[in-house]
Amino acid sequence: MDRTATHASFMKEALKEARKARDHHDVPIGAVVVLNGQIIGRGHNQVEWLKDPTAHAEMIAITAAAAHEGEKWLREATLYVTVEPCAMCAGASVLARLKRVVYGVQDIKTGAHSSLFNLLNDPRLNHRIDVIPGVEKEACAALLLDFFESIREK
C-alpha cells in the first residue's frame, strides 16, 4: 500500500470515530493515533456528551495512545484527525512529541496549523511536527456540513 492510500485508510478510521461523535450530538470530529502501522489510540469529540470542554477527539486519542505505550512521548506516532487541530490539541500534539499530524479539512475559526496559528511548526517551541493537510477532505467536510445543516433545521 502506498503512502497516500495508507493515509486515506487511517483517515477513514478517524471518520468512523467522527460518526460516533455525531451519533451522540457532538461535533463530528474523530481521531486515531498510529504507530508502526497499528492504531494505538482512538477518540471522538465528547464535549457535549461529557460536558467537558477538553474532551476533543485528539486529546482522547493522544491520551489513549500514551496509555497504550506507557509513555508520554509518542515520537514515532502519527495523529490522523478529520479537522485541523485547535490550539489545545495542537499544543498537546507538540507536548506528546508526535512525529506527524494528518488532517482532513481546515478549521478557519480555530485551526492551529495554518488557519489562525501554526503551533505545530512554531520555531519558538521545542518540537515541530510534520503536517499533511487535506486527506479525505471531501468526506471530512461533508460530515461537518451535514451535522451543522441538521442543527440549523431544528
Burial of 5 (0-12, 13-18, 19+ CB in 10 A): exposed
CB atoms within 10 A of CB 141: 15
| Chain centroid, CA 81 distance in Å | 3
Which regions of the chain does DSSP assign to beta strands (E)? 30-35, 38-44, 78-83, 100-105, 130-132
The cell numbers describing 99, all together, are: 512525529
Catalytic residue among 17, 58, 84, 136: 58
Angstrom distance (rounded) from CA 128 to CA 8: 23
Going by C-alpha positions, the residue among 110, 101, 102, 105 that lies closest to residue 141 is 105
Which strands, in side-by-side order, build the sheet including 78-83?
Answer: 38-44, 30-35, 78-83, 100-105, 130-132
Is 58 an annotated catalytic residue?
yes
Which residues are annotated as catalytic? 58
